[in-house]
Structure 1
Amino acid sequence: MDQSVPPSVVEAHRPEQAPVDHPAVAREKIGVLVANLGTPDDTDYWSMRRYLSEFLSDQRVVDYPRWLWQPLLQLIILSRRPFASGAAYRSIWNTDKDESPLLTITRSQSEKLSTRLRAELGDSIEVSFGMRYGNPSTDKALKELEEKGCRRILFFPLYPQYGSPTTATACDQFFRQLMKRKWQPSVRTVPAYFDEPGYIEALAASVSERLENETHQPSVVVASYHGVPKRFLEEGDPYYCQCRKTTRLLRERLGQAEDEVVTAFQSKFGPEEWVGPATVDKVAELARQGHKSIAVLSPAFSADCVETLEEIEEEIRDAFMEAGGEHFIYIPCLNDRDDHIAVLADIVKRELGGWI
């Protein structure tokens, strides 16, 4: 390669009909930017405080007036919460890579998606991933795609159900980064895929495979979604309804009765009323009703994270066992399963219609 070409510009060439002294540019490609929620860089107090401050200062997540919320957040909540959150993250931390499981899994998803798309569509497709909060940032992922010559970018928030504190804030951040560009790429965003047949099929397969050789078969499967304030539903956020539909479609695919696959919501934060029932209360109620074995899965999470590996596997498990339950089974998220990657690839190909 010509040594005058910057190393970040791959497959560089001189544009057709350009003068001989025109700088080399990257060949035009299509980019896919996969986005997830985010992760702290470490589990110490200051790393956790930076991450939580960014997360909880997002008005898509906590939409109280800033004059009221910020003093409470900065002076009270963030003086204590980083310790508890750091302990939760330490209990699940990927010590081999020194990073959170969410980062490990999202990277693997991105790499596998890239391999599959390139095999099917050729090397004109580039895949990168970024986080709404923390690192690698959405801006960094966007820069990587731009440097590889991507003038068309498909933004893919990995949230099956649309929610304003998840999908919307990820899109907000993506478009904020575009506002900085002198030359903006053409962009598209991927819609929610909560009722995508392949997604439902992959969920059902994950349940069947996990329970196939289980000695104590669950009498109830709980689909636990991250909760939102009830007010969000009343203000038009479709998240709650999409979660309920995902559960219904999964139940129908599994051939189970209505009371055998149920919906619940976890991770309540703050004083106001949230959509329910709360998972921690629901599993305790099931135990008191005589259900000795239950299974829990998290259809709203595309990758296992602190809310699944710590909250479900510890807090929610403990609530079930303390109320008289005996066998608690956690069914992992779809993560980088081959059938999950195949679903994501099919969605990408559909959303790239007219571009490829």
Structure 2
Amino acid sequence: MNEPKPIDRSVTPEAGPTAPRSKIGVLLVNLGTPDGTDFGSMWRYLREFLSDPRVIELPRIIWYPILYGLVLTTRPSRSGANYAKIWNREKNESPLRTITRAQGEKLADVLAGEPEVVVDWAMRYGSPSIRSVAERLAAQGCERILALPLYPQYSATTTATANDKLFAALATMRHAPAVRTVPPYYAEPVYIEALARSIESHLATLDFQPEVVLASYHGIPKPYSDKGDPYRQHCEETTRLLRRRLGWSAERLVTTFQSRFGAQEWLQPYTDKTVEKLARDGVRSIAVVNPGFSADCIETLEEIAVEAREIFRHAGGRNFAHIPCLNDSPDGMRVIEALVRRELSGWI
């Protein structure tokens, strides 16, 4: 038998170009915002938002005549007027965009010691779009992307839609990055602690003691919940853990749901109806916190801080406080940083 020839280790392959070190993108995603308060900007934003089949589950043949024939002819003006009440006129943008940008910039600062990490932010509806930012991260050499949908509690109408849009963007890329998505964080100790500290700090600034504090979450249609969306359970667990951390009773911290749309039943109890009932029942001082929102937006700054306050006082209530969202506060940024660092494990 012929013996195999020994390998000549003095011969090495011709050196080729060294591939640049790949980067890791961290993408913060929030729900969305119109580009302006005018009719056209609101129309474009609402059309994109309300055309999402996860948001409105009706068949298009039923929903689209309603959307284009009624909703998009009347709602843009009304929504634009509400946005105008809270608009950041200095930057000519919604507070949600201002705050989400700040969250991205502050996260980039705390991750500055990880030179391979690139932080960016996007909106599910409106601009900057998830597609445009995913493409920008890929163009910067990001072969991996960690996406953090900034919704503490999971719902198909929020978390899943953000992931859908990201995956749709990847489907168009020749060289698509690998992706991880951060799971919902409704029960994370760092999140519960941040909420509790925020509540305690804000209540300490008031000249009254709220008899009841409402934990008001964005609602979803009840049929979505009945079909298996875990959102209600996640909200109730956040409230339960928050009560335990604060040492409050179920009567002191109450879960409610806001922002219902259309004629069908949504998750109850409704925030606006609860606020009115409390006042009519003789409660004179309340506060409202929004644990389902990572940043203040139209639903917190206008619907709660303005509309709910008016409902409460009109029904006989006296003292009303809106507790701000975590936003880009130190406690809020600790939550985001903790989640991102944990999910980047093994990548950096």
Structure 1 counterpart SS, 2:151? coil
Q: Indicate whether 1:112 and 2:110 are aligned.
A: no
Give runs of aligned pairs for residues 239-258 of structure 1, distance below 5 A.
239-258=231-250
Q: Which amino acid aligns with 1:281?
A: K
Shift of 1:18: 2.8
Residue aligning to 2:22: 28
Which residue matches 2:89? 95
1:335 aligns with 2:327: yes
Over 3 Å counting, the alpha-carbon distance change for 1:292 and 1:140 in structure 2 is same
State the shift of 1:349 in Å: 1.2
Give the aligned partner of residue 130 of structure 1: 122
Alignment of 1:152-163 (within 5 A): 152-163=144-155
Alignment of 1:145-156 (within 5 A): 145-156=137-148
The aligned residue for residue 69 of structure 1 is 63
Amino acid at match of 1:275: L
C-alpha deviation, 1:87, in angstroms? 0.1
Report Cα offsets for 1:43-83 as digits up to 9, x if no partner: 10011000000000111111100011011101111111000
- Hey, what's the Cα distance between the residues in 1 that align with 2:347 and 2:196? 32
Q: Partner residue of 1:143?
A: 135
Cα distance in 2 for partners of 1:183, 1:143 equals 10
Letter aligned with residue 51 of structure 1: Y
Does the residue aligned with 1:224 lie in a helix, a strand or coil? strand
C-alpha distance in structure 2 between counterparts of 1:256 and 1:301, whole Å: 21
Tell me the residue number matched to 2:303. 311
Q: Indicate the residue corresponding to 1:209 in structure 2.
A: 201
Q: 1: CA distance between counterparts of 2:205 and 2:24? A: 43
Number of positions where the alignment pairs a residue of Structure 1 with one of Structure 2: 335
Q: Contact between 1:128 and 1:144, CA under 8 Å: does it hold in 2?
A: no
Conservation of the 8 A alpha-carbon contact between 1:118 and 1:124: no
Match 1:175 to one of 157, 161, 167: 167
Percent of aligned positions that are identical = 54
Please state how far the C-alpha of 1:208 moved relative to its aligned partner: 0.6
Matched, 1:266 2:264: no
Kindly state the Cα deviation for residue 27 of structure 1 after the two structures are TM-superposed: 3.3
| Aligned match of 2:221 | 229
SS for the counterpart of 1:290 is: coil
SS at match of 1:164: coil
Structure 1 unaligned residues grouped into runs of 5+:
1-15
Take 2:177 and 2:16, find their aligned partners in 1: how far apart are those partners?
21
Deviation readout 1:15-46 (Å, 9 max, x if unpaired): x9435xx9xx7531111111001110111001
Structure-1 residue corresponding to 2:34: 40
- Structure label with greater radius of gyration: 2
Q: Match of 1:347?
A: 339
Whether the 8 Å contact between 1:31 and 1:125 is mirrored in structure 2 is yes
**C-alpha separation between the residues in 2 aligned to 1:18 and 1:205?**
56
Q: Could you tell me how far apart the structure 2 residues matched to 1:302 and 1:18 are?
A: 47
- Show CA shifts across 1:155-211 (max 9, x none): 110000001110000000000000000111111110000000010000001101101
**Is contact 1:35-1:155 (8 Å) kept?**
yes
Match of 2:144, SS?
strand
Partner of 1:18: 16
TM-score normalised over the length of structure 2? 0.94
Q: Are the counterparts in 2 of residues 151 and 186 from structure 1 also a CA contact under 8 Å?
A: yes
